[in-house]
Amino acid sequence: MTTHPSPTRLMLVTPPVEDADAMAFRLMQAMAGGDVAAILLRLTPGDDRSRIERVKRLAGPVQGNSVALIVEDNSLVAARGGADGVHITGGPQAIAEARASLKTERIIGVGGLRARHDAMDAGEAGVDYVMFGEPRPDGSMPPLPAVVERAGWWAEIFETPCVAYAPDADSIEPLIETGAEFVALGAWAFAEGQDIRALVEAANAAMSACAARKAAR
């Protein structure tokens, strides 16, 4: 996953996955809708072997579409499953452990950042991206204006790419306008009855339109 000055690119954050085949089908639908930079794969609890098998099942179809597969919070499962990286939510010690385990061979991204200085510390630790706005551990969401402010501040000042998490379809455009390199669509995008292909198409269209407006200024 590389930085693209314009347009913003899309990341998808899965709900916790137990059935890899069902998720593979949904991801193929999503990727048929247009450009997706990365999939952040969240897994239901289980032993490492079963989790590794789920990652392997999804790595092929995802990476076959030139999309990065990133696994949440388990460097061992990410590496042995053939994923492209790991997404850390456990703070500085977890970042250091991931770097020691994965070296520079895989993407290391960071979420769960509560304050500006947490993000700056992560950036100084050499992570490949920081994420703002994802659900808190209790499932609640930070207010969108705060996420817009945080993503805009980061995108303007720092070189480390920023991912802005969209809590719903209406928030996609305001987050694109922040200049964040990536906008993430979460579990809501995978809900039953949600046309994820159309959602990806619409998000990409909004990103291209924003890039065109900025280029015209």
Distance CA 123, CA 130 (A): 7
- Cα(111)–Cα(135) distance, rounded to whole angstroms? 10
Element of type H or E holding 183: strand 182-185
Q: Kindly state whether residue 71 falls inside one of the protein's structural domains.
A: yes
pTM exceeds 0.85: yes
Beta bridge partners, 131, equal 163
3-state secondary structure (DSSP) of residue 121: helix
- What does each C-alpha distance from 18 to 50, 71, 85, 87, 214 come to in angstroms? 9, 14, 20, 18, 41
Q: What is the pLDDT of residues 58-77, one digit of tens each?
A: 999 999 999 999 999 999 99
Residue 89, domain extent: 9-216
Residue 4 lies in a domain: no
Cα 172 to Cα 3, 18, 33, 81, 147, distances in angstroms: 19, 27, 16, 31, 12
Residue 3, domain member (yes or no): no
Contact in structure between 11 and 39 (CB atoms under 8 Å): yes
| CB count in 10 Å sphere of residue 149 | 13
Q: Is residue 1 part of a domain?
A: no
Residues of the chain with pLDDT under 70: 1-6
Structural domain tally of the chain? 1
Q: Is residue 174 part of a domain?
A: yes
Cβ density class 172-211: b for 16+ within 10 Å, e for less? bbbbbbbbbbbbbbbeebbeeeeebbebbbbbbebbbebb
CATH number of the CATH domain containing 37:
3.20.20.70
In the chain, the amino acid numbered 160 is T
